[in-house]
Amino acid sequence: MDNKKRIALITGASRGIGRSIAIRLAKAGHKIAINYNSHKNDAIEVLNNIKSYGSEGIIVKADVSKRDEVEFMIKNVEENLGPIEILYNNAGIISDSLLMRLKIEEFDRVIDTNLKGTFYCTKFCLNNMIKNRWGRIINISSVVGLRGNVGQSNYAASKAGIHAFTKSVAKEVATRNITVNVVAPGYISTATTDVLTEKQKKSVMAWIPMQRFGEPDEIAPLATFLSTEEARYITGAIMRVDGGMAI
């Protein structure tokens, strides 16, 4: 990790991968803004963990699919911690169904949260990064955005959109010492996968050469490395952490 302490905003940081990233950054002494939408108690628990490592942090409520809430969140972080230097677009939802049964509002909701939420957060954090000529943007995606999946046309589209968005923004800001990258996890043991039946889990396991789901702590090391000065020559990359699922 860098010796310089940075200010990081992590969306969807109350649980799972976002939580693991927040704690890992806190151990390095960075200031952390923990975004949540509906799990306030979990966000408070993460904040307490961060403070136990001697790091500073705040919790900020926002639905990233709503532009006004994102703008307010970012202003709140800037006023309480300072300009955001590291952004993790981690918040995301699923609403699975075969396309013939998928409701239009379910498609819109997933796109609005996963893709437009990434757009809003990136856009409203970027000005200060450009002004300060330093920034790290890490978008947490999914291998589903690379390979597709039955019953997840909306989710796959949102994640594939993040991949193209990342590459485009990376080209736009490369000369400003700002990097933009994707970490694409496979199936990770989080609240999202906990709802799968044993039959579904066995079916998924057949796709994974390592024959197990990953853990949030196995995503965080790569995700946090991409926020460092040492990763300054990596941009526009899509990095899989999936146990070989998308080989």
- CATH number where 39 lies: 3.40.50.720
pLDDT mean across residues, the chain: 95
d(CA 175, CA 191): 39
Residue 125 burial by Cβ neighbours in a 10 Å radius (0-12, 13-18, 19+): buried
For residue range 1-59, what is the model confidence (pLDDT) as tens digits? 556 899 999 999 999 999 999 999 999 999 999 999 999 999 999 999 999 999 999 99
* Residue 22 near residue 13, CB atoms below 8 Å: yes
Q: pTM of the full predicted structure?
A: 0.95
Residue 207 lies in a domain: yes
Asked whether residue 2 is domain-assigned, the answer is no
Phi first, then psi: give them for residue 78, nearest 5 degrees: -65, -40
Q: Number of folded domains in the chain? A: 1
For residue 65, is it within any domain? Answer: yes
Q: Is residue 246 part of a domain?
A: no
Does residue 237 sit within a domain?
Answer: yes
Q: 143 lies in a domain?
A: yes
Q: How many Å apart are CA 166 and CA 136, to the nearest integer?
A: 12
Domain assignment present for 247: no
Structural domain of 213? 7-241
Catalytic residue annotation: 155
What tens digit of pLDDT does each residue of 138-154 get? 999 999 999 999 999 99
User: Which stretches does DSSP call E strand in 67-197?
Assistant: 86-89, 135-140, 178-185
Q: What is the pLDDT of residues 95-138, one digit of tens each?
A: 999 999 999 999 999 999 999 999 999 999 999 999 999 999 99
Asked if the structure places residue 1 within a domain, the reply is: no
